[in-house]
Amino acid sequence: MSIPRSVVIIAALCLLLTVVPACKRSAVEEPSPFGPASLYLTFEVFVSPNVILTSDLRQAAEVRALVKYGGQPAANELVIFTITRGPGEFNDYFRRTAATTNANGYAIINYLSPTKYQLSDDELVVIQIRPQTSSPYWIWKEVEIVLIKGQ
């Protein structure tokens, strides 16, 4: 009994098709759309001090945002600061303000706490920081400041 030639050719083609996809090139990997490879604009936020003991006078905390484009500091970029929770205001006496980054990529504002007489208990303040982008997507980060009611 002999196997027909067409059956041998079809079996050989099926075997070839199962082996070919296994021979993939793995030297180039697609970056994740959610990973750092897709982010050109990045920024970091800092607050100092992040715990304030309130007193008769208003205390200040410095809030900084470092904006980078492609890993390099970005100058003249607009950054928006918003107090989303808790008491206090910025040094322009508003709860939302904006600052422009300097030559080192920093946008700096001052947060002013309430006095100890304006607090009934310890409070948590949350400040949202957003750099202005030309993208339809926006990114933000938040910093927290703990206000401890003074005696």
Pairing assessment for the beta strands 141-148 and 51-53 based on DSSP bridges: parallel
Q: Which CATH architecture has domain 36-148?
A: Sandwich (2.60)
Checking if the pLDDT of 26 tops 80, the result is no
pLDDT digits (tens, 9 = 90+) for 48-102: 999 999 999 999 999 999 999 888 999 999 999 999 999 999 999 999 999 999 9
